[in-house]
Amino acid sequence: MKKMGRFGFYGALLFILGLVLASSIGSAHAQLKMGFYSKSCPKAEKIVQDYVNKHIPNVPSLAATFIRMHFHDCFVRGCDASILLNTTSGEQTERQSPPNLSLRGFDFIDRVKSLVEAACPGVVSCADVLTLVTRDSIVATGGPSWKVPTGRRDGLISRSSEALNNLPPPFANINTLRTMFASQGLDLTDLVLLSGAHTIGVAHCSSFTNRLYNFTGRGDEDPALDRNYAANLKARKCRSISDTTTKVEMDPGSRNTFDLGYYNLLLKKRGLFESDAALTSNSASLREVNKIVKGSVKDYFARFGKSMEKMGRIGVKTGSVGEIRKQCGLVNS
Ligand code: HEM
Ligand SMILES: *[C@@H]1O[C@H](CO)[C@@H](O)[C@H](O)[C@H]1NC(C)=O
Ligand SMILES: *[C@@H]1O[C@H](CO)[C@@H](O)[C@H](O)[C@H]1NC(C)=O
Ligand SMILES: *[C@@H]1O[C@H](CO)[C@@H](O)[C@H](O)[C@H]1NC(C)=O
């Protein structure tokens, strides 16, 4: 206590007050937090969860759609619901860009949003609705859970070209994947963990037929794809290189079950995309894959959840940035 002498009691008090003030100003416009709506819309999270629990059991395939939509949202301009904007005039929006392919479920999000709007008009963002719907629908189908701090606000801009530039294509190699994830603040471990979402859902043949029919332009197959698996896909699913309509389960036989199936397939050279196969082409990422396969589902779920939470924080708009959209497809006028 004596040491305080020169600085003085009031000096110390001011210093502490300063620290408290600085940190509260910082967090006021820079951070998400758990239960952000607990005062402004106490029922918000429950409304979302109830709707998901009531409807997702009838359409479990939407869980895959939502987690992919959330990933696409976060990788383009941050998790700000830019993926949900409809094209009105000018450049096409993200949801109209080629990587959208199978994105569905916009109407589901719109219905959840209108329920939340009815309870608390203008309070809960579409970005948070999408993030919560994603987590809750993965949980409703027996997958991992994770924390969803809230307080995201909605962006005003959505551009098709930015989706193309920021989303990794299915033919990306490990260096491209690493670079694209790193520019979002995600590391190699996050890349390996998050790619495991391909344990659920489906892909169109057109996302990978080059691997079956014309890998290097000489009518050849991708040597990184198991030959028997390729033969099977060609005979039963993707009968030509130009098939753009047939859908294939990425983890055959368990497309609605979140498990370690994806990683076991990778080790058998049965990952569907080059980007999946790429994860075993590099010693560091292969080590991660092996670690996951040798571990428990419980451990994987916990680690996957941590990476999802991290992804959900990418470039978020908080405080007074952006807006709370009234309708998820349109910016407020
Ligand atoms: C690592 C880079 C990634 C690439 C190159 C990639 C690429 C793709 C492609 C091409 C499809 C199939 C689209 C179609 O043909 O209809 C797809 C589907 C899917 N992706 Fe990824 N993806 C990646 C990472 C992720 C991440 C991080 C997640 C989520 C955490 C994710 C979740 C999904 C899901 C669930 C589907 C199935 C969607 C459905 O059934 O509707 N992907 N991905
Ligand atoms: C997805 O992109 C294609 C190609 O740009 C576009 O024609 C289609 O309308 C888009 N799908 C949705 C749901 O917007
Ligand atoms: C394979 O690719 C090459 C080079 O792009 C092209 O000339 C050829 O027509 C393709 N073959 C098929 C079957 O699509
Ligand atoms: C967005 O466009 C779709 C059709 O592409 C339409 O069904 C939906 O109502 C639109 N949403 C808004 C908010 O305008």
CB burial of 173-205 (b: ≥16 within 10 Å; e: otherwise) equals: ebeebbebbeebebebbbbbbbbbbbbbbbbbb
Structure-token pair, residue 220:
């050849």
Distance CA 261, CA 196 (A): 9
Does 21 have pLDDT greater than 60? Answer: no
What is the C-alpha separation between 145 and 305, in angstroms, rounded? Answer: 6
Residues 205, 308 contacting (CB under 8 angstroms):
no
Which residues have CB under 8 Å from 235's CB, separation 6+? none
Mean pLDDT of the chain: 92
Q: Which CATH superfamily is domain 174-311 in?
A: Peroxidase, domain 2 (1.10.420.10)
Residue 41's alpha-carbon distances to 47, 181, 263, in angstroms, are 10, 34, 40
Is-catalytic flag, 55? no
User: For residue 123, what are the CA distances in angstroms to 33, 115, 126?
Assistant: 15, 12, 10
Residue 248 is labelled as binding a ligand: no
Task: Report the separation in Å between the CA atom of 94 and the middle of ligand 2, taken as the mean of its atom positions.
Answer: 9
Give 107-160 pLDDT, tens digit per residue: 999 999 999 999 999 999 999 999 999 999 999 999 999 999 999 999 999 999
pTM of the entire predicted model: 0.90
Residue 109's Cβ-count burial label (10 Å; 0-12, 13-18, 19+) is buried
55 is in an annotated binding site: no
CB 163 within 8 A of CB 72: yes
Band of residue 10 on the pLDDT scale cut at 50, 70, 90: low
With 0-12 / 13-18 / 19 or more C-beta atoms within 10 angstroms meaning exposed / middle / buried, residue 283 is exposed
Chain length of the chain: 333
The binding-site residues of ligand 1, defined as CB within 6 angstroms of any ligand atom, are 64-65, 67-68, 71, 101-102, 168-170, 172, 177, 194-195, 197-198, 200-204, 207, 273, 275
Residue spans of the domains in the chain: they are: 44-166, 174-311
Rounded to a whole number, what is the distance in angstroms from the first to the last CA of the chain?
A: 59
- Three-state SS annotation for 253-291: CCCCCCCCHHHHHHHCCCCCCHHHHHHHCCHHHHHHHHH
Confidence grade of residue 84 (pLDDT, cut at 50, 70, 90):
very high
CATH 3.40.190.10 fits 44-166, yes or no: no
pLDDT of residue 90: 84
From the CA of 213, give the closest atom in ligand 3: 13
Q: Give residue 97 CA to ligand 2 midpoint distance, Å.
A: 6
- Report which of 273, 115, 159 is spatially closest to residue 207, judged by C-alpha positions: 273
The rounded Å distance from CA 273 to ligand 1 centre is 9
Write the pLDDT tens digit of every residue in 165-201: 999 999 999 999 999 999 999 999 999 999 999 999 9
Q: Directed axis angle between helix 61-75 and helix 297-311, to 10°?
A: 40
Residues 6+ apart with CB under 8 A from 221: 211, 212, 213, 215, 227, 230
